[in-house]
Chain A
Amino acid sequence: MNFGSLDLHTVWFALVGILFAGYVILDGFDLGVGMLHLLVVRRDEERRVFLNAIGPVWDGNEVWLVTGGGALFAAFPMVYATVFSGFYLAFMALLCALIFRAVAIEFRSKHPSPRWRACWDAGFASGSFVSTLLIGVAMGNLAWGVPLDARGEFAGSFLGLLHPYALLMGATTVALFAMHGAIYLVLKTEGELQAAVRRWVNPLIIAFILCYVILTLATLLYVPHITEAFRREPWFFAVAVAVVLAIANIPREVSHGREFLAFLSSCGAMAGLMAIFGIGMFPNLVFCQTEPSYSLTAFNASSSEKTLGIMLTIALLGIPVVLAYSASIYWIFRGKVKLDRMSY
């Protein structure tokens, strides 16, 4: 396909962003459910309800990460190579956590022994928590900036990635995913179990808002290149305000029993947060804090125009179909969780 004068670099910056936003919104609630798994409920049957709330969909949700990673590799190979090799130990830990999470979901209920189940419950919860924290820390580092050399190679250390701003972003992500997971669970549970989950929604919202406010202040004070982007285009503040309104809307919808709208609000808030992140970063994909001209951007770190065009054709052919059947699958599995013999 010929895309004429379309700026493919910006398009792919947005598309990679959309794929990762899709991942964060969809797998975000899976990871959130995982983090709440040990905290909210104790009885085996209740834990099975938690697992089966995400059971049919978590696998497909994780594919957003795989495809996002593939798209990053294809569209911005320099960024993929620099980030993945530079954050080596962090990504290995992320892989380990994601493996444990996946395998724990699959295997927990395949054997009745309580000790077996307790082990995998711990694996599910800790895998979810560590994955979430590391995703947040990685995003925090991209926002804060990392040291790069003239060839675009990472020039820092593993411990250097664990600075306060990145950890703050990690904590915010943990609170966000836990909140999102709790709201999803309200949607998928009923009766006493739902009441137990509902008690967690408001505290988690408050925890998230606290983190979010501190993070925003820290960003305004200490991360000038992101603040700069907002100063250039002040209407971006509207997105930030919309995020706050969407989150404020959640308790209202929950108290009116409109669980699906509450969940949509939460999804909308996360989409807004990812948009803010993308707008703040553009055109940088990896900001170089030591020498800004070394930064990897949508323009200097991308594949050729030809590849970007081929991939846009692939995406335009594939993504509508993917969205259509993904939505149908969510529709098939709508409603409250009912355990049957095929359940986890």
Chain B
Amino acid sequence: MDVLLLSRLQFALTITFHYLYPPLSIGLGLLLVVVEGLWLKTKNPLYHQMARFWTKVFALTFAIGVATGIVMEFEFGTNWATYSRYVGDVFGSALAAEGIFAFFLESGFLAVLLFGWDKVGPRLHFFATCMVALGAHFSAIWIVVANSWMQTPAGFHIVGEGLAARAEITDFWAMVFNPSSMNRLSHTVVGAWQAGAWLMISVGGWYLLHRRHRDFALASVKIGLGLAAVAALLSLVTGDASARGVARNQPAKLAAFEGLWQTVPQAPLHLFGWVDKAHGRTHGPEVTGLLSWLAYGDSGRPVTGLEAIRPADRPPVNASFQLFHLMVGVGCLLIGLAVWAEIASWRGRLEQSRLLLWLLTLSVLGPQIANQAGWWAAEIGRQPWIVYGLLRTSDALSKVVTANQVAASMVMFIIVYLLLFAVFVFLLNDKIRHGPDDGDLQPTGKWALGFKAKGGAK
């Protein structure tokens, strides 16, 4: 295998593994704010117990997120040196902002969140929890802005020629608010909320299925569902906005997502199907005019097909198509599940359907599959470009790194990540089987004082 393929595989492997964790941190971070806020407001010790339990799960996901995140930062330089030189002036400032505004905030206050229960009062602890959640969200902002700049570059000019060409920033805010960044950011963040929310629901559902920790489980499912339902619907809204942006800014990518070959008015939308690249056709059930309507709000307007794009500039069509459809399909299933569970919960029948509880238990996989498929679709759909329309992926490699070196590091990552994943699953399983501590229903230390003083005053 050549360096290009190996480097792309290694990046795909490391980013896919990394991306299992930050969405969980973002989603769970927000839920920790909700649960701890409820505890401070209602003084119901159940929420204290929940905050304690979910903090432990949060710590687990955060640890692997940080450890695998450093890899990503290094890899731009190690494997994609030409790319780094090309985009450093633009991309680097977003990455530096991420470090200064997001990572310090997140990791600094995480110390208080994890170890500060008995050292600081409840209000300061709650503040720390809010800062951790805020930091997690900030980290999404900067990296998605940087990635969106690669999709729809703006606010820059090119200096130098040939191998020495590079992008230089001309307008910082135009770079930050490039045409796709806000749509993609909102879509990514609500996807992350779903990841956290469905994890909480899934654990609660599993307890209900096994008739354990009933109060804790019901509260977890209900709070999780509140966020999951909102986030699932917002995923649809933000996804729609995002896709309309792709239609405007990256026509080749949209054509690949939808397997559209001819530029026609009344462009059809395939519900699912298979792209026959050799014959330039897509097989499967289609709804005529729906794609035109979704892309432009006008079913008569033509949508650019792949045939209008030079073969050398087309992304891998079938992979883009399948991954995009997988994301949309799983997203729709999650909306359905959220609605079903909300209705059951509202009518007090959550525990009566074992099928529903089973589906809720398995639901944790849904957002992970959709988030990963979405990222793969977004990145594969941008090919053959690493910076859309400006720099080809094949030109972006490190010139001095050999295939053997990448193969060696790839083997190392596979071994280390398999080990990490096994340890993560083992410990998560351990925590879930152990369940919430009943001791946490009687808060101690400063938490107990706050509790009694407030209770006594009333």
Other-chain residue from B64, B87, B100, B427 in contact with A315 (beta carbon distance below 8 A): B100
Kindly supply a per-residue 1/0 record for chain B positions 78-114, scoring 1 wherever the CB is within 8 Å of any chain A CB and 0 otherwise.
Answer: 1101101101111111011111110111011111101
Other-chain residue from B67, B79, B400 in contact with A98 (beta carbon distance below 8 A): B67
A21 within 8 A of B: no
Q: With A66-B73, A88-B405, A102-B66 known to touch, is A307 a contact of B111 (CB < 8 Å)?
A: no
CB distance from A33 to the nearest CB of B (A): 16
A253 within 8 A of B: no
Docked-complex contact B168 and A333, CB < 8 angstroms: no
Interface size on B, residues (CB 8 A): 71
On chain A, the residues within 8 Å of B95 by CB distance are 70, 73-74
CB distance from A17 to the nearest CB of B (A): 15
B409 within 8 A of A: yes
B118 within 8 A of A: yes
Docked-complex contact A77 and B85, CB < 8 angstroms: yes
On chain B, the residues within 8 Å of A222 by CB distance are none
On chain A, the residues within 8 Å of B117 by CB distance are 342
Docked-complex contact B163 and A82, CB < 8 angstroms: no
DSSP class of B's interface residues: helix, strand, loop or mixed? Answer: helix
Enumerate A90-113 residues with CB–CB distance to B below 8 Å.
91-92, 95-96, 98-100, 102-103, 106-107, 110-111
Docked-complex contact A314 and B169, CB < 8 angstroms: no
CB distance from A151 to the nearest CB of B (A): 7
Q: With A92-B409, A314-B93 known to touch, is A106 a contact of B59 (CB < 8 Å)?
A: yes
Give complex CA distance A216, B127 in Å.
48
A62 within 8 A of B: yes
On chain A, the residues within 8 Å of B64 by CB distance are 103
On chain B, the residues within 8 Å of A60 by CB distance are 104, 107-108, 110-111
B1 within 8 A of A: no
A290 within 8 A of B: no
Docked-complex contact A67 and B96, CB < 8 angstroms: yes
CB distance from A321 to the nearest CB of B (A): 9
Interface size on A, residues (CB 8 A): 65
DSSP class of A's interface residues: helix, strand, loop or mixed? Answer: helix
Q: At the interface with chain B, which of A51-59, A200-208, A225-233, A254-262?
A: A51-59
Docked-complex contact B60 and A310, CB < 8 angstroms: no
CB distance from B293 to the nearest CB of A (A): 41
On chain A, the residues within 8 Å of B120 by CB distance are 332
Enumerate B309-345 residues with CB–CB distance to A below 8 Å.
none
- Given A63-B99, A107-B63, output 16 extra A-B contacts at Cβ < 8 Å: A57-B111, A59-B111, A70-B99, A81-B85, A92-B78, A96-B412, A103-B420, A103-B423, A310-B93, A311-B93, A319-B100, A325-B131, A329-B109, A329-B112, A332-B119, A342-B117
- A residues with a Cβ closer than 8 A to B are 55-57, 59-60, 62-63, 65-67, 69-71, 73-78, 80-86, 88-89, 91-92, 95-96, 98-100, 102-103, 106-107, 110-111, 151, 153-155, 158, 303-304, 306-307, 310-311, 314-315, 318-319, 322, 325-326, 329, 332-333, 340, 342-343
26 of the cross-chain contacts (CB-CB < 8 Å) are A62-B107, A67-B100, A73-B73, A73-B88, A75-B92, A81-B81, A81-B82, A84-B76, A84-B84, A85-B401, A86-B400, A88-B400, A88-B401, A92-B412, A95-B71, A99-B67, A106-B60, A106-B63, A303-B92, A303-B168, A304-B168, A314-B93, A318-B97, A333-B119, A340-B118, A343-B115
